[in-house]
A and B are shown apart, each in its own frame.
Chain A
């Protein structure tokens, strides 16, 4: 009997270790966005994007703290946080979803994928399907994605006075490197 218990515990432990081996965590990378108008280009970078991929079921999650976006001009940064994102109230922007597409996480290669899920910016959820690319190499995953965010979708208002300075759709670029979560 005792042997059986020990065996079972061992088995379960192995299984659960196996489980946690499915989780990959972003260790480096950045998210940036770009707004282009004839008047003015605005771009900002945030190097503190946190992300997880579960290679077993394809679950993904991304979260970024809004005040971490760095702009070229300090006034832009102030306006971004104070007037548009309202970073006081809505601290983070996030995406939660599932990777769809055929990815063999055990095999090196580059896979075009889609992530299907919910994008939350400025406290407003929007169902999205976002294109991206996964590259698997020597047990590491790198990810790139480019997508557009429509400010209206997330109830971010642009006052008439600066409507010429800020684009209605903003291009977002994500580059991340994942490693097995310890």
Chain B
């Protein structure tokens, strides 16, 4: 009987000791119990990587102003390079754009490129969030419409100047250093010149183009990352024999508080999908890679 008593006594003691002594343990247990799978933050830094869109949207009530610049062909071994300071004296393309976040998941924007004088309106909607210990990917839908107001004969109808892009962006932040993306893309151009035949297979240009993009960000330090993207266009008309190449871009991303700055090298002169998916005619192999930069500044209201 005495033993039983002792046991009961011991039990009570140990219970009260546990309950009393470590307040922090109690709190930590509570935090643990309440924790829900966290949203994965900052898969990418800017809304655009080099050529590729990223999963990020401009946050609610912030305005993002971006300048994207592509210099001329670097052509390091050739004559053009030497006489244009490796392309720095030429501007293949310049784009100004504004993006505004309507909500944290939905943003709209406007941009103007030098190439084809494309003026575009666009929107991005992030509909799936990657969660730690849950959903492994995040996803967004990107859409744009562009008009090319270049000088044409009066008979050229307005509708023929329009082109559209629909894009699904699927991204995953594998760990704090590596983020990857895949971008199935559809480009529709209202007008294409179908009088030109492919020199070997005889195909003509297509109004509808499918492409798939791959993009990645690899952190080197806390504020610096190596970035790259690549687009593969599925088109019979587009191959090396006909002077078309897949846009490949590599760069370095530097983050400084409110700015994100990229220095990159790419063979594409086009900056928006409507340009670089159908019209990349520069080849890395021929020295036709261009130095470029993207810089963006965020304003909060």
Which A residues contact B (CB, under 8 angstroms)? Answer: 1, 5, 8-9, 12-13, 15-16, 19-20, 22-23, 50-52, 54, 56-57, 59-63, 65, 67, 72-75, 78-79, 81-83, 88, 92, 94, 96, 159, 161-162, 165
Contacts and interface: CB of A to CB of B under 8 A. Distances in A.
B23 A96 contact: yes
Chain B's interface size range is 20 to 34
Nearest to A2: B1
Contacts of A92: 28, 31
A50 B27 contact: yes
A74 B104 contact: yes
A12 B41 contact: no
B60 A74 contact: yes
Contacts, number: 86
B207 interface: no
Interface of B: 1, 4-5, 8-9, 12, 15-16, 19-20, 23-24, 26-28, 30-31, 35, 38, 41-42, 59-60, 62, 104, 176, 222-223, 256-258, 298, 300
Nearest to B301: A73
Contact of B12 (A5, A16, A165): A16
Given A67-B38, A74-B59, A94 B24 contact: yes
Q: Which 6 A-B pairs have the closest CB atoms?
A: A61-B23, A74-B59, A52-B23, A73-B300, A63-B27, A61-B24
Nearest to A13: B12
A105 to B, nearest CB: 15
Nearest to B61: A74
B24 A19 contact: no
B23 A79 contact: no
Contacts of A88: 176
A61 B19 contact: no
A96 B257 CA distance: 33
A78 B176 CA distance: 13
Contact of B42 (A20, A61, A82, A96): A82
Contact of B256 (A81, A94, A161): A161
Contacts of A159: 223, 256
A154 to B, nearest CB: 16
A63 B62 contact: no
Given A92-B28, A96-B23, 19 more contacts: A5-B5, A8-B9, A13-B12, A19-B20, A20-B19, A22-B20, A52-B26, A59-B20, A60-B23, A63-B31, A65-B31, A73-B300, A74-B62, A75-B298, A79-B257, A96-B24, A159-B223, A159-B256, A165-B257
Nearest to B4: A5
B62 A75 contact: yes
A15 B62 CA distance: 59
Contacts of A165: 257
B9 A12 contact: yes
A73 B26 CA distance: 33
Nearest to A39: B257
A83 B258 contact: no
Contact of B19 (A19, A60, A73, A82): A19
Contacts of B5: 5, 8
A1 B4 CA distance: 12
A83 B27 contact: no
Contacts of A19: 16, 19-20
B45 to A, nearest CB: 9
Contact of B59 (A16, A52, A57, A75): A75
